[in-house]
Chains A and B, each alone.
Chain A
């Protein structure tokens, strides 16, 4: 047992559900007690999803505990097969089903008997994997399943497309700015003359999977999900992959160059004449971030101290951008992806003074306190630590809140992403500076005025009345005070008791 208040990565089933509900016409049956389907709320609220989340809980209750869960899970899967006719049903274990140690594979075999669609059980143990790892595994599992099926049926498409093409792996629901990044990457590839063969799993249907080997190479923009799938496809079909994340100007360039060198290794006759020209054009004239790095504004950021924390891919990319492209001193870079610590260390060690690998948010908070950076680039948790310490924070990674699912176009990848990041960095530091200056010159001077009675009348607030007023949330207290005083005046009351306060609310409705 350990004491925990907060976690960066959620439980395994959340990772699985994020993958299954990103596909079209794939339904997950969670094997879980009542209330564990909170994933619905996450997806419906954060993503503002218009469609019903394709996840059903096969409820584990007292009854089920007594009689075993087999019939219930099997029936839930068959019922869903009849109702929605999904292509695939993924039976998803949770912490509860993990300890019940029931034979999910057997349930799946039974469920398959009465179903038109496919049924599999997600191979993720709650106690061994977290959200991030489970997502990676589930994507691989689904891809393997359908590749195998296509091989068995002899309808796998292995012939490469005539023009160079790629699969984009690991774009999925509730991913940090994933949909914006996808648009940006598609645009980048389009202008470079590369076709996108498939995007997985977001918006893909199961049919897509047997077409995967058609692509020349796979792209894995985020290490957290898609890497296992890419490795599988490489082993199975010799399909190479590029796992460089195109975040920041230099890494975007590296991403493009790696893609072309990999493509050329498959077809040496492939022309790459346009690539350097394109990159030069983008870096020098279209993207603003290279110029920003050179400008006076950014000069003022030189040597300022920052801390970076997040998932491995975003934190590593951000560290590199701050240090390499903006001359900011990264005093500590960290990740909560402890399973990928080695890669992370190797990526950031040239660019930071200290490396922090932890899943414990209090440890991150302590480091921030100790190092007192001028700005933080982290998750929502670091934003709140920053708030408490008066240090500005730009959010660069999950876990995130609804404000990190903006309606407007806000990629983190590619050239537009680099512009967005430059704004984020600049605004974080300059806001901090503004606060600092305000403090130096005495600050905003309005706080105390707000709580005073506007126009002290000859009305006395009794002690009890005043106490009751303090129970009213601060942001409406002033309005309530005013309304109550008006009510007392109208009714010729000389003192305000709690009862008067309540009658005023009844009369004015607030």
Chain B
């Protein structure tokens, strides 16, 4: 096994044998975000079973998504997918009357090469409803990359920016699906810099998609949106602002600075003062977390940004597992992590792309981190072996962006540590008969 804490930041690649959510899970938050949409996942019982169980109680709230469940006849091409999809979409139109139907292609549609991109335009014309196709399959993507694929395909639906607007600053479109509150907060931060956000991708309603074009600057709010950035830049000629992501006060400040720089407005002094104020409010958390170590097993692509923020909080980052590293889109964030570790005089973490969970568990036993950020597959077994964990998916579903929510990230980090601190006094830290791995 290689060294655990190298001196320079290295990016390694393992076997890709790791646990993560299937990217079709993105329908669970996107259908809520785009209020007039309907998501149709074209897949098998396996996909349905995953969604049903991972969505928990949401499934009982008549969600605007469904499975088009493929049967044996579909697989053996005895049935024409065009007529079948038409029948299902008509049914959806009648029952739900959405303004947009999104087809989510899965592993099975890939393997049998169902031509969703070819069928969609025909049906779109016949049914008079926009149909988007997004490939969110486990053959190519992990978890949050599902959203990236949906947004990348939504880029084509955005109206064109026709003329230079009379706004004081050039138009800015933000991309990434965040809660309405978080969107207001980020809009508000930019407004203080004299920037009015001209729109978000995705928007609340299909008809409200932002105009994009060569005059438009775009900035991502999440690290997993590389294909969307590429689509905006290549297909719509937008100006992509590459930057660290607005996670943590350091990330938010850097993000704001890069945007204001690109748009040539704003006041960096104000941004720094605001960041300093926020750091001031986090003092109690920082005292608690400083010097503790953390290990990311990696499953949702937020890892590098979170690691960078926690390094700035004084935590030792042992390993940053991450499903996929896009060297261009995540580049500024990776550099920022490296820079942060230098400035904080911390050992450089290793970034492990496509990690191998089995090897990671062995490394965890070897270095015994204070906290492991991991998926639910490993959380309970690690806890039983006396290793404190935090369930990674919570970072995906919590409000973690901007200055305002920095504290929420630290609360998520601190809670398991505090809980186990109180339990450790009882002598219940190891609850398995199995001998510890070495």
Contacts and interface: CB of A to CB of B under 8 A. Distances in A.
12 contacts: A1-B70, A2-B68, A3-B67, A34-B20, A35-B50, A44-B381, A52-B381, A62-B139, A62-B140, A65-B139, A95-B108, A498-B188
B84 A61 contact: no
A505 B49 CA distance: 38
B56 to A, nearest CB: 8
Most buried by B among A6, A52, A506, A510: A506
Given A41-B375, A506-B281, A7 B52 contact: yes
Interface in B21-76: 21-24, 42, 44-46, 48-50, 52-54, 56-57, 59-60, 63, 66-72, 74-75
A5 B141 CA distance: 23
B179 A50 contact: no
A44 B278 contact: no
B384 A42 contact: no
A509 B54 contact: no
A20 to B, nearest CB: 16
B328 interface: no
Contact of A3 (B17, B20, B66, B111): B66
Interface in B89-142: 91-92, 107-108, 110-112, 137-142
A502 B108 contact: no
Contacts of B140: 61-62
Interface of A: 1-7, 10-11, 13-14, 32-38, 40-42, 44-45, 48-53, 56-57, 59-62, 65, 76, 83, 94-96, 99-100, 126-128, 130, 381, 384, 387, 401, 468, 471-472, 498-499, 502, 505-507, 509-510
B426 interface: no
B179 A99 contact: no
A50 B431 contact: yes
Of the four ranges (under 10, 10 to 19, 20 to 34, 35 or more), the interface on chain B belongs to 35 or more
A262 B118 CA distance: 64
A126 B46 contact: yes
B181 interface: yes
A122 B87 CA distance: 36
Nearest to B85: A1
A273 B17 CA distance: 59
Contacts of B184: 468, 471, 498, 502
A38 to B, nearest CB: 5
B215 to A, nearest CB: 28
B88 A51 contact: no
A51 B44 contact: no
Given A36-B50, A95-B108, 9 more contacts: A1-B68, A1-B70, A5-B66, A10-B49, A35-B50, A38-B21, A59-B16, A65-B139, A126-B46
Contact of B46 (A13, A61, A472, A502): A13
A273 B118 CA distance: 76
Contacts of A83: 358
A499 B404 CA distance: 10
Contact of B377 (A2, A7, A41, A127): A41
A65 B138 CA distance: 12
Most buried by B among A5, A468, A472, A499: A5
Given A1-B79, A127-B75, A41 B69 contact: no
Most buried by A among B17, B71, B85, B92: B17
Contacts of A4: 48, 66-69
B434 A51 contact: yes
A42 B53 contact: yes
Contacts of A61: 16, 139-140
B59 A33 contact: no
Given A35-B143, A38-B54, A509-B281, A57 B17 contact: yes
Nearest to A41: B376
Given A50-B432, A57-B17, A61-B140, A384 B377 contact: no
A1 B84 contact: yes
B49 A38 contact: yes
Interface in B348-378: 358, 361, 375-378
A506 B66 contact: no
A76 B185 CA distance: 47
Given A35-B20, A35-B50, A126-B44, A52 B378 contact: yes
Contacts of A128: 72
Nearest to A504: B404
Nearest to B61: A384
A60 B85 contact: no
Contact of A40 (B19, B107, B180, B411): B19
Contact of A6 (B59, B358, B375, B403): B59
A395 to B, nearest CB: 13
B88 A1 contact: yes
Contacts of A14: 49
A40 B391 CA distance: 14
Given A94-B46, A502-B404, A33 B138 contact: yes
